[in-house]
A and B are shown apart, each in its own frame.
Chain A
Amino acid sequence: MRPKTSLCAAAALAVAAGGATAAELTIATVNNADMIIMQRLSPQWEEQSGHTLNWVVLEENVLRQRVTTDIATGGGSFDIITIGSYETPIWGAQGWLVPLDDIGGEDYDLDDIFEPVRAGLSADGTLFAVPFYAESSFTFYRTDLFEAAGIEAPTEQITYDEFREIVAQVHDPDNGVFGTCQRGKPGWGENMAFIGPLVNAFGGRWFDMDWNPQIDSEEWRNAITFYVDLMTEFGPPGAVSNGHNENRALFAEGRCATWIDATSAAGYIFNPNESTVADRTGFFPAPKQVTDRGTGWFWAWALAIPSSSQNVDAAKDFLAWATSREYIELVGETEGWVAVPPGTRVSTYENPAYIEAAPFAETVRDAILAADPSNPTAEPVPYTGIQYVSIPEFQGIGNFVGQQIAAALAGQQSVEDALAASQAFAEREMRRAGYIQ
């Protein structure tokens, strides 16, 4: 190539690169603490890449509806979306998401991402979203109350019966401390996130291998009766309106002796600027009962690119940046190590700075590695997902069952009636969707 030609080619490349840097990306995300940090740090990526980001921050359910409408109609309003482990395989299989197996190149080190997390964000072996943070569930407890009651903190996974005995000993409503706080607010992502693993522990399952609903089974009855009794006896008043946030506030205020919920809340509970019990909180695995399968849930918030995006390359570049090892280090250095997005990379848990700052780190890692969405129940099932079932119909069914169980918790109907209504609804929906005749 002559010098003049090569110069022209270089100029053309520069122009092309310049054209690429002009991309304006719209990113839709949820208002969780880790996403807020990402938004705050993103100007660094804008500076180094030359692209700009427009942020659309919405509440989780609004975002899900908004993004579903846009993707299903090919609206193309978003270039990057925040998506959960429930939707990713469903949307990926629909062809709504851009495959990400080639993301970031060698430096990105895809193998550094926990295998169960990658598996949860794939469909038919293709990765459709990269994890921003992942969580399982475990039991938060108040070390001072356990000490005062002479209870040894469990080191192994205990049963729900043993859990109940402990709760009874630390229940002290006269001093404003309730034995346990669990989710009561209806919704597939609210009370059902707790109830799903509870039912798994009692040996129950949503569907048998032929997709017949199993909600009126003995196992479900035992689990829900246990839940209603536990909450009625040892829970805070009005527990039916408490979701994750309300319980988080109650626990942070020192009103709950135990709380089984998202491991990702640990960073908040252990932050003395936000919690009054930061130095008095310990943790142990979520209890089992007749089985230890599917007793801790699995959830990942991830970033994906809708197939309707016009800026796939730039969007991939952002995804690689926001979920990279370097990003985690950047958060650790600028925001403090306790604030780094947890549960995604092996290297995070090999970092001494993180292990030192986050006393819960290893328990969280063990909980995430133990969660196996592809094998969630004692008896075989045709679905994946621990606290949810990876089919589009689950949102509707999960919400309905959540409402029925909330009504039972509020004393408006019996557990029997709640489960019978849930079973009838699930059968109708599954029949309508063609899973069963």
Chain B
Amino acid sequence: MARAVPLPRKALTTALAWTIGVLMFFPILWIGILAFRTEVDAIRPPLQVLAAPWTTESFAAVQQRSNYLRHFTNSVVIALGSTAIALLVAIPAAWSMAFVPSRRTKNVLLWMLSTKMLPPVGVLIPIYLIFRDAGLLDTRTGLVIVLTLINLPIVVWMLYTYFREIPAEILEAARMDGATLRSELLFVLLPMAVPGIASTVLLNVILAWNEAFWTLNLSAARAAPLTAFIASYSSPEGLFYAKLSAASIMAIAPILLIGWVSQRQLVRGLTFGAVK
């Protein structure tokens, strides 16, 4: 039975949680409001912005000027493609590190993570040259490859953490019953690790969806995803707050929706172990 929490403390915690929640959500809320204002209303003081009439003209202008559907399709292909390939590589890797560790497993894990500490711009030119010579510039294949490699350390780490929570005895029992490596992975390990894999997939999709450095630098017109779509409404000379907000809402809406629908799964996967 849950421990009774005194009412004042409960109220305080609730108020604090709501305050933090509102503060965190406020920028998105404000973008949402600005997106439904005219450019002139969007630059007025906050109270006047709130009182201004609602309009969808910014969405219409963005839709007319940009090919949203192409950017959206690119984002979907790049995010899902890179996540799928990362999983294909990471599941066996995490399995071997979790259940058949060697003396150097810890070092390998740390080394993998250390690649995330390198500023991306440090390897921009070499990767750009490789992409140029391989004909991968401005292609979705190229972006899938680079995002797979960039997010791979995180995927391996997350899966490794979940797999370690699964008692090795269960896998051993399966082996004793004559399971091959393939069936052990597919029919014993994966079903038990579903919450962990699901949250890894979600997190990786979100990371790939929002990745802006590589997607902007390695794409031009054909493979540009939604990050480039948003960037096209940012300007140092000209006021496009309403259109920029509309573009941002259109870009984050799909991922926000996915996050919302799957938040229970995501939170469970991120906070609980595999077999709890």
Main secondary structure of the interface of A (DSSP, over half): mixed
Q: Which of A39, A56, A252, A253 sits near B65, CB closer than 8 Å?
A: A39
Closest residue of chain B to A63, judged by CB? B231
What separation, in Å, do the CA atoms of A54 and B239 have in the docked complex? 24
* Given A32-B237, A69-B125, A73-B129, A57 and B43 contact (CB-CB distance below 8 Å): no
- Decide if A241 is an interface residue (CB 8 Å cutoff): no
| Cβ–Cβ contact A273 & B236, under 8 A | no
| Cβ–Cβ contact A54 & B220, under 8 A | yes
What separation, in Å, do the CA atoms of A276 and B234 have in the docked complex? 23
* Given A54-B220, A66-B217, A69-B124, A268 and B238 contact (CB-CB distance below 8 Å): yes
Contact with B along A239-277 (1 / 0, CB 8 A): 000011100110011000000001011001000011110
State how many angstroms separate the Cβ of A336 from the closest Cβ of chain B.
17
Closest residue of chain A to B232, judged by CB? A57
- Decide if B224 is an interface residue (CB 8 Å cutoff): yes
State how many angstroms separate the Cβ of B30 from the closest Cβ of chain A.
15
Give how many A-B residue pairs fall within 8 Å (CB-CB).
98
| Cβ–Cβ contact B238 & A33, under 8 A | yes
* Given A73-B129, A74-B132, A244 and B216 contact (CB-CB distance below 8 Å): no
| Cβ–Cβ contact B231 & A62, under 8 A | yes
* Given A28-B220, A54-B220, A77-B138, A60 and B235 contact (CB-CB distance below 8 Å): yes
State how many angstroms separate the Cβ of B259 from the closest Cβ of chain A.
26
State how many angstroms separate the Cβ of A7 from the closest Cβ of chain B.
39
- Decide if A346 is an interface residue (CB 8 Å cutoff): no
List chain A residues, Cβ under 8 A from B68: none
| Cβ–Cβ contact A30 & B239, under 8 A | no
State how many angstroms separate the Cβ of A400 from the closest Cβ of chain B.
18
- Decide if A111 is an interface residue (CB 8 Å cutoff): no
- Decide if A31 is an interface residue (CB 8 Å cutoff): yes
| Cβ–Cβ contact A31 & B39, under 8 A | no
What separation, in Å, do the CA atoms of A244 and B240 have in the docked complex? 13
| Cβ–Cβ contact A31 & B216, under 8 A | no
State how many angstroms separate the Cβ of B26 from the closest Cβ of chain A.
18
- Decide if A372 is an interface residue (CB 8 Å cutoff): no
* Given A32-B237, A249-B239, A78 and B220 contact (CB-CB distance below 8 Å): yes
What separation, in Å, do the CA atoms of A36 and B239 have in the docked complex? 12
List chain B residues, Cβ under 8 A from A264: 237
State how many angstroms separate the Cβ of A150 from the closest Cβ of chain B.
29
Closest residue of chain A to B240, judged by CB? A31
- Decide if A435 is an interface residue (CB 8 Å cutoff): no
* Interface of chain B residues 193 through 252 with chain A (CB within 8 A): 216-217, 220-222, 224, 228, 231-240
Closest residue of chain B to A78, judged by CB? B220
Q: Which of A31, A262, A265 sits near B232, CB closer than 8 Å?
A: A31
| Cβ–Cβ contact B222 & A54, under 8 A | yes
| Cβ–Cβ contact B221 & A26, under 8 A | yes
- Decide if A47 is an interface residue (CB 8 Å cutoff): no
| Cβ–Cβ contact A73 & B128, under 8 A | yes
- Decide if B256 is an interface residue (CB 8 Å cutoff): no
Contact with A along B35-72 (1 / 0, CB 8 A): 00001100111000000000000000000010000000
| Cβ–Cβ contact B237 & A245, under 8 A | yes
Main secondary structure of the interface of B (DSSP, over half): loop
List chain B residues, Cβ under 8 A from A65: 217
- Decide if A189 is an interface residue (CB 8 Å cutoff): yes
| Cβ–Cβ contact B236 & A56, under 8 A | no
State how many angstroms separate the Cβ of A101 from the closest Cβ of chain B.
28
| Cβ–Cβ contact A75 & B132, under 8 A | yes
- Decide if A59 is an interface residue (CB 8 Å cutoff): yes
* Given A73-B125, A252-B43, A274-B40, A60 and B221 contact (CB-CB distance below 8 Å): no
- Decide if A427 is an interface residue (CB 8 Å cutoff): no
What separation, in Å, do the CA atoms of A252 and B41 have in the docked complex? 11
| Cβ–Cβ contact B43 & A66, under 8 A | no
| Cβ–Cβ contact B238 & A245, under 8 A | yes
List chain B residues, Cβ under 8 A from A265: 237
Residues of chain A having any CB pair with chain B under 8 Å:
26, 28, 30-33, 36, 39-40, 54-62, 65-66, 69-70, 72-78, 189-190, 243-245, 248-249, 252-253, 262, 264-265, 268, 273-276
Q: A31-B240, A72-B125, A245-B235 are in contact. List 12 more A-B contacts (CB 8 A).
A: A30-B235, A31-B233, A55-B221, A56-B228, A58-B232, A62-B234, A69-B125, A75-B132, A189-B236, A243-B236, A264-B237, A268-B239
24 A–B contact pairs at CB < 8 A?
A26-B221, A32-B235, A32-B237, A32-B238, A54-B220, A54-B222, A56-B220, A58-B231, A58-B232, A59-B235, A59-B236, A61-B236, A65-B217, A69-B124, A73-B132, A75-B132, A76-B137, A78-B220, A190-B236, A245-B235, A245-B236, A249-B43, A274-B40, A276-B40
Across chains A and B, which 4 residue pairs bring their CB atoms closest together, nearest first?
A54-B221, A57-B232, A31-B235, A249-B43
Residues of chain B having any CB pair with chain A under 8 Å:
39-40, 43-45, 65, 124-125, 128-129, 132, 137-138, 216-217, 220-222, 224, 228, 231-240
